[in-house]
Amino acid sequence: MRVGKVRVTLHGHLWRYHPERIRTWEEIWPEGKSIASFMRTLGVPAQEVMLYLVNGARKDPDHKPSPGDHVEVLPVIDGG
Amino acid sequence: MAGGFFGLLYEVDLETRDVRRVEVPQEDFRLYFSGSGLAAKLLYEELDASVPPLSEKAPLVVLPGLLTGTPVPTGCRTILAGRSPLTEIWGETTAGGFWGAELRKAGVDGLVLRGKADRPVYLWITSRGVEIRDASHLWGLDTFETDERLRQETDARARVAAIGVAGERQCRMASVIFEGSRSRAAGRCGFGALMGSKNVKAMVVRGQGKVPVHDVEGLRALFKEDIPYIQKFAAGLTQFGTAGGVEAVEAHGDLPIQNWRGGRWAEGATAICAQTNLPKHLERHYACYGCLIRCAKIIRYPGDSGEERVSHQPEYETLAGFGANLLNDDFIAIARANEQCNRYGLDTISTSAAVAFAMECYEKGLLTSKDTDGLDLRWGNVEAILKLVDRIAYGEGIGALLAQGARRAAEQIGPRALEYVVDVKGLDVAFHDPRAFTSMAVSYATAVRGGCHLEGLTYFLGRGIPLEDMGYTEPPDPHSNDGKGKIAFDLQNYMSIYNPLGLCKFLFLGRVGPRMIARWVEKVTGWSMDQEELLRVGERIFNLKRLYNVRLGISRKDDILPPRLLNFPRPDGRAQGVLPHLGKMLHEYYELRGWSEEGIPAAEKLRELELDWALVLMR
């Protein structure tokens, strides 16, 4: 299986779901893995996600990033 | 028999000390509900544009909503309405808590206060009527002390709505604080000053009856499904309160930073948000009357002398205003500023906006340390922020200038200072950025009371909260300019029924739409009500309040945003470079509203909304 590095940023409170509690990191991303599937692995609840951006453009949850992409995850805002 | 109201108001003449019972016909409740809807009808009928907001002749209307005090979820809110001392146009402000339900349980729908008492008084309201009592011994006390003293004097279970020193001094940013340290704040528009101008320190109520409900069993049957549904979607609010949204708001570029100049503040947002602080400071959760969400949090935190203090967690707006917008990431300092404002009876939005304005003037050299009596108003200077709040409350030095609000202060400082005022129609813009969710541009520009986020709440759609009853299933593009006039039109009509019904707008976060609310209104009142009719009432009330403003000179020229939000893009972050195309949105909006190009409601629209009578008074 081909792998490549993908930059991931969890915005808002979502960074708290990263086991090491970091906002941005380089992930060795298995080829063919969707963003939604990866977020499930991290434990980010789907109902707390408003949208996914890949290189700044909105993408569906089943989008599969390519090496070198920047995946950003923006939360639904509950309070405020 | 129709339920939901008594058809009775107490009209209190503070000068003569007469209390008159005024009957209100059922038809008025049907057309305007109660709360801010009925208040709009009453105030429009007697509006005299020549009477200044703080004149003895200016009335203050106090009306809980039509569902306040009933078993309907969140049916708790009380509305104060009149001509705003801050903006001098239509003003309304609301608070939750238990006061409104208590008043209705005393067998009355609301109060109209007129004239001015010759010395400080408080109102003691029970099922026997209204008693006007001396409050000379309370003048000068803060709202927490006043709450305690008045419950000792009257009834331990009474509910108190009081002003602090800011209202006594007629500071135009003064709030009315309900229930002391639990601090349910009727913050906006300066109604604390109106109470203060009438020498009314507090309104205390004890009610032991019931609000009539047409079909209690039918209502309870609805709740079996409705309540779990709401609780499921509002769980985040239950856990952290509005303060749980700070990080997410920042992520969307929606958080005001350094008087609305910044773009990113992620680490700061993390430092001040509830997820970081509530686990350390939570004392207990608190729910308003009839509320199943429980968003309010009481916290323990250290005071400035190290003593332990117990007070309300700062809400999102307060964290944004005293935090991000001042570049202050010290949560404890914000908690102190929040408690100061609540004790003094100051609106945390306008007060923190005035501080941000002063800090920018200081940075740009329009205010110097000589003007501030030595206060070093550098961004994020916690000590200076807290001292400035004291000075605003007591009207001391620079505080006297700022106590009249940022706009009036800028007019005295000089023309360039007006660049740093972020308001609409004189009301400081609440802390959600129309560059992050462009629908808020038209929503703010046309909001009846000015820079109010609650009249449209269109950013809720943009942040991923659907409103399926009205066809909004997917979030609109947050940054485009297309269709935003329609969003503002739809959501203003919907949100315009909340204050007349006395419901909390956080029901929207619980995915409650007009269909569910119409069913509740049917069961409480016995009237036939559906979504279409409910929204028609909302549209009627919104137009009536607009007409009130039109009679005070408001038109399209005033439906504008401040330069900071219209012309200056955020430098980075999610909303980087976005500027709303307000003219395009307004064009679409006016067409949907049936208003002229000048923003005046057309006669045909008013007839359609059964507002012919209001048209007559326009001439």
A12 touches chain B (CB under 8 A): yes
User: Do A80 and B275 make contact, defined as CB atoms within 8 angstroms?
Assistant: no
- A-chain residues within 8 Å CB-CB of B464? 50-51, 76-77
A16, A23, A50 ranked by CB distance to B463: nearest: A50
Give the gap in angstroms from C-alpha B243 to the nearest C-alpha of chain A.
6
pLDDT bucket at A1, cuts 50 / 70 / 90: low
Rounded CA separation B117/B15 (Å): 5
User: Do B236 and A16 make contact, defined as CB atoms within 8 angstroms?
Assistant: no
Query: Over the stretch B84-124, which tens digit does the pLDDT of each residue have?
Result: 999 999 999 999 999 999 999 999 999 999 999 999 999 99
Rounded CA separation B39/B78 (Å): 11
CB pairs A-B closer than 8 Å: 70
B43-to-B100, B105, B166 alpha-carbon distances in Å: 20, 24, 25
Closest CA to B523 of B186, B66, B52: B66
User: Do A13 and B274 make contact, defined as CB atoms within 8 angstroms?
Assistant: no
Q: Quote the pLDDT of residue B304.
A: 85
Q: Domains in chain A, ordered, with CATH? A: 2-75 (3.10.20.30)
ipTM of the complex: 0.93
pLDDT beneath 70, residues of chain B: 1, 619
Query: Over the stretch A3-54, which tens digit does the pLDDT of each residue have?
Result: 689 999 999 999 999 999 999 999 999 889 999 999 999 999 998 999 999 9
A51 touches chain B (CB under 8 A): yes
What six digits make up the tokens of B398? Answer: 């620079």
Instruction: Evaluate if residue A2 carries a pLDDT over 70.
Output: no
Query: Over the stretch B410-429, which tens digit does the pLDDT of each residue have?
Result: 999 999 999 999 999 999 99
Rounded CA separation B534/B33 (Å): 10
pTM over 0.90: yes
Give the gap in angstroms from C-alpha A47 to the nearest C-alpha of chain B.
10
Q: Quote the pLDDT of residue B410.
A: 98
User: Do B275 and A23 make contact, defined as CB atoms within 8 angstroms?
Assistant: no
User: Do A12 and B251 make contact, defined as CB atoms within 8 angstroms?
Assistant: yes
Residue of B nearest to A74 (CA): B251
- Sequence-distant (6+) residues with CB within 8 A of B74 are B96, B288, B290, B291, B292, B293, B503, B504, B506, B507
A50 touches chain B (CB under 8 A): yes
Q: Quote the pLDDT of residue A3.
A: 65
Q: Quote the pLDDT of residue B463.
A: 82
B189 touches chain A (CB under 8 A): no
Q: Quote the pLDDT of residue B1.
A: 65
Q: Quote the pLDDT of residue B517.
A: 98
B243 touches chain A (CB under 8 A): yes
A11, A16, A77 ranked by CB distance to B463: nearest: A77
Q: Quote the pLDDT of residue B619.
A: 67
Query: Over the stretch B154-188, which tens digit does the pLDDT of each residue have?
Result: 999 999 999 999 999 999 999 999 999 999 999 99
B266 touches chain A (CB under 8 A): yes
